[in-house]
Amino acid sequence: MAQSNCTQVIEFSLAGFTEDPVTQVNLFLLFLLTYLVTMLGNLGIIILIRASPHLHSPMYYFLGNLAFVDLSFSTIITPKMLVDLLLEKKSIGYAGCVAQLVLFQIFGVTDCFLLASMAYDRYVAICHPLLYPLVMSPKCCFQLVAGSYLMGLTNGVGQTISMSTLSFCSSSTIDHFFCDISPLISLSSSDTTLSHIILTTAASLFGVSSILVILLSYAAIITTILNINSAEGKRKAFSTCTSHLITVSIFYAASFFTYLNPSSDSSGGTDKWAVVLYSMVPPMLNPLIYSLRNKEVKEALRRLFKIK
């Protein structure tokens, strides 16, 4: 075969964002601030939910897991990216690259299904309130969360198989700031047919199924709200899912812009910023959205800090 004389690389170089030192320092400060807000916000949400008994409900159980996944999702790439912004040589070993790729894919898909589970939770709460305690039992909530992690793990296994079929001989420079599957496929010197099949199948299976659950849930929610006679009743019903709807909109708008824009196969500079939008902005904004818009969270904060 053509690959018989291939010497597999043991280390990749990362192109990063720019080679301009001033711009790198500015980006370092920007991303450091973003990561600190993400860390404090998501850790704060997790601690607040655990410390506040009146937040021990299905919605906040899902929110706590979402905060953990968002924190992990951001941590997979941001610390390494911050270090690289201060170094002249940006590199990552093959094993580290595979680990980063797989974990990023695991938590990315888990995030999708947690958002879908939260949409289903809001659907039951608004459309079938009398059945809510029965349907959203602790066992059901655990199964939904465990299923979300299982879907993420399944995606991670698929991407591991995809990565194992790729050979890298002609070049070891990834035109990105971390190890993502698309630029690695573009860099490979081997037949990438199987990798493209796995990537397309995973995107279709996991992405479409999770967004379908969300769309169907909110279609039923909107129909139910429109059938409520009083304006106050409509306002209260809609307010219970506003925070989640904003979170879903930000996450999927960013992810669609990242993976469905026409230049996504080229891994150009625009795509790098699209991935930043997808991987760093939603994890930072989600805690702020739930803290600023949710009365129960704000009340829990007042009780925790004994603010009158």
Tally of domains in the chain: 1
Q: What are phi and psi of 13, to 5 degrees?
A: -100, 140
For residue 1, tell me if it sits in a domain: no
- Please, are residues 183 and 176 in contact by the beta-carbon 8 Å criterion? yes
pLDDT tier at 276, thresholds 50, 70, 90: confident
At residue 260 the predicted structure's pLDDT band, cuts being 50, 70 and 90, is low
Q: What are phi and psi of 125, to 5 degrees?
A: -65, -40
In a domain, 57, yes or no: yes
CA gap 251, 209 in Å, rounded: 15
State pLDDT tens for residues 104-119.
Answer: 989 989 999 999 999 9
Q: Is residue 5 part of a domain?
A: no
The answer to the question of residue 250 being in a domain is: yes
**Are 185 and 166 within 8 A, CB to CB?**
yes
236 found inside a domain: yes
Q: Which tens digits make up the pLDDT trace of 217-247?
A: 999 998 988 887 877 777 777 777 777 788 7
- How confident is residue 40, by pLDDT bands cut at 50, 70 and 90? very high
Cα separation, 85 vs 96, whole angstroms: 18
Task: List the 91-93 sheet strands across, edge first.
Answer: 91-93, 11-14, 173-174
Lowest mean pLDDT among 19-28, 123-132, 175-184: 175-184
Is 12 strand, coil or helix? strand
Confidence of residue 1 (pLDDT cuts 50, 70, 90): very low
DSSP code at position 178 = S
Distance CA 117, CA 89 (A): 42
- CB contact at 8 A, 190 and 165: yes
4 lies in some domain: no
What is the distance, to the nearest Å, from the Cα of residue 20 to the centroid of all Cα atoms in its chain? 29
Q: Which domain holds residue 142?
A: 11-306
The residue with greater pLDDT, 147 or 87, is: 147
Residue 211 sits in a domain whose CATH number is: 1.20.1070.10
Structure-block tokens of residue 245: 């709807």
Question: What values do phi and psi take at 126, rounded to 5?
Answer: -95, -40
On whether residue 40 sits in a domain, the answer given is yes
Tokens of 119: 């949409």
pLDDT of residue 19: 81
The yes-or-no verdict on residue 143 having pLDDT over 50 is yes
Specify if 258 maps to a domain: yes
